[in-house]
């Protein structure tokens, strides 16, 4: 990595026209050596992401065990949070797809990576990925790195068509704060629940129920961090009662709502979880 700093740097870049509607944003995240850094929690967002580490690797913590993460991997749609931390200097290009966009890259294989982090060397040529990391490392500045990641993804698209039903149904879920029942959403499109679920899961990589649950939890977290009253959040997000609210939020981010309200915002949280980014489903780091 050409640029090294002890202070974390996060920059957000819009995708090129070739990726419009497919990729939501490209992030470049850089930081100097951070030995012994506290683990970071990445909560489900309803998005698939490509992660390219051109700095030092990260470690993932799961079920009491820790393991190095692949330098290039895809994060499928997630139900549970991911806990990780740096081993040294950070240099990461993150390509975040729109909730419906990853099908353009992965096609029918998308649903098979649900709730998984998959090493891209299992899917694509190792030499191509190694060359990509070299280009990212040697690039002159973050805008150049974003352009390299953008061009790489654009060159590998396999499906230009975006599923209009998936787009409309996710927007409907988001507008309803994840409260709508799957049967009711399916009826909006004159489809039975089974047919709707099959088509949605194929094109989004998660079931309608999983997506609704993620969106609702995202809205709840945003309201918690804004200081709204618990009962107001329960009503707005459509939780059955306080027990339901506490269970789902804790399941979503490994922390009860009461702890989220007291949690000090990290540098990453302040960048990624701005109000504008959280309007759809942008809460990412805790």
pLDDT tens profile 193-206: 999 999 999 999 99
Instruction: Provide the number of structural domains found in the chain.
Output: 2
Q: Which tokens in the block code for residue 235?
A: 């009503």
Whether 49 and 117 have beta carbons less than 8 Å apart is answered as no
Q: Residue 88 belongs to what H/E stretch?
A: none
CATH code, 25: 2.60.120.10
Alpha helices (runs of H) in 41-181, residue ranges in sequence order: 103-106, 126-138, 142-155, 164-175
Is the confidence at residue 284, as pLDDT, over 80? no
Whether 72 and 133 have beta carbons less than 8 Å apart is answered as yes
Whether 173 and 180 have beta carbons less than 8 Å apart is answered as yes
| Residue 93 to residue 136: CA distance in whole angstroms | 8
Per-residue pLDDT tens for 31-66? 888 766 778 888 899 999 999 999 999 999 998 899
Helix axes 208-225, 230-237, angle to 10 degrees: 150
pLDDT of residue 273: 54
pLDDT of residue 2: 40
Domain termination site, one of 132, 155, 178: 155
- Phi and psi at 133, nearest 5°, equal -65, -35
Q: What is the CA radius of gyration of the chain?
A: 19
Confidence of residue 283 (pLDDT cuts 50, 70, 90): low
| Residue 77 to residue 144: CA distance in whole angstroms | 28
Is the confidence at residue 140, as pLDDT, over 70? yes
Confidence of residue 227 (pLDDT cuts 50, 70, 90): confident
In a shared domain, residues 145 and 175:
no
pLDDT of residue 158: 86
- 286 inside domain: no
In a shared domain, residues 237 and 112:
no
pLDDT of residue 180: 81
- Share above pLDDT 70 across residues of the chain, in percent, rounded to a whole number: 88
In a shared domain, residues 149 and 176:
no
pLDDT of residue 223: 87
pLDDT of residue 133: 98
- 239 inside domain: yes
- 37 inside domain: yes
| Residue 10 to residue 17: CA distance in whole angstroms | 22
**Strands, DSSP E only, in the chain?**
9-13, 23-31, 40-42, 49-53, 58-62, 65-68, 72-75, 82-86, 90-97, 117-119
In a shared domain, residues 131 and 183:
no
Domain termination site, one of 108, 138, 155: 155
Is the confidence at residue 265, as pLDDT, over 60? no
- 256 inside domain: yes
Question: Which DSSP symbol is given to 123?
Answer: T
Look up the pTM and report it.
Answer: 0.90
| Residue 201 to residue 165: CA distance in whole angstroms | 11
What is the extent of the structural domain holding 68? 9-155
Per-residue pLDDT tens for 4-38? 445 568 899 999 999 999 999 999 999 888 766 77
For residue 60, what are the β-bridge partners? 67, 84
In a shared domain, residues 218 and 129:
no
In a shared domain, residues 145 and 177:
no
Winning range, highest mean pLDDT, from 30-34, 250-254, 263-267: 250-254
Is the confidence at residue 174, as pLDDT, over 70? yes
Per-residue pLDDT tens for 151-168? 999 999 987 789 999 999
- 285 inside domain: no
φ/ψ region of 17 (left if φ > 0, alpha if ψ in -120 to 50, else beta) reads alpha
């Amino acid at each position: 990595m050409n640029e090294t700093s002890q202070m974390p740097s996060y920059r957000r870049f819009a995708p090129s026209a070739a990726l419009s509607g497919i990729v939501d944003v490209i992030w470049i995240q850089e930081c100097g050596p951070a030995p012994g850094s506290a683990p970071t929690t990445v909560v489900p967002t309803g998005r698939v992401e490509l992660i390219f580490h051109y700095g030092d690797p990260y470690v993932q913590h799961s079920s009491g065990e820790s393991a190095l993460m692949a330098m290039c991997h895809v994060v499928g749609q997630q139900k549970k949070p991911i806990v990780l931390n740096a081993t040294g200097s950070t240099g990461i290009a993150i390509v975040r797809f729109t909730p419906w966009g990853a099908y353009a890259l992965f096609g029918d294989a998308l649903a098979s990576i649900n709730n998984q982090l998959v090493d891209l060397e299992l899917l694509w040529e190792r030499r191509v990925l190694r060359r990509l990391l070299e280009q990212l490392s040697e690039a002159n500045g973050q805008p150049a790195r974003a352009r390299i990641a953008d061009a790489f993804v654009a060159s590998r698209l396999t499906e230009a068509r975006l599923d209009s039903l998936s787009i409309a149904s996710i927007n409907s879920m988001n507008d309803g704060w994840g409260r709508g029942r799957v049967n009711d959403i399916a009826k909006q499109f004159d489809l039975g629940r089974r047919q709707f679920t099959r088509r949605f899961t194929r094109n989004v990589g998660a079931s309608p129920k999983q997506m609704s649950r993620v969106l609702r939890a995202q809205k709840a977290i945003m309201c918690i961090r804004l200081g709204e009253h618990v009962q107001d959040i329960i009503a707005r997000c459509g939780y059955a009662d306080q027990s339901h609210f506490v269970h789902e939020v804790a399941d979503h981010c490994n922390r009860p709502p009461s702890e989220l309200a007291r949690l000090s915002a990290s540098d990453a949280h302040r960048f990624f979880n701005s109000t504008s980014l959280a309007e759809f489903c942008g809460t990412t780091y805790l």
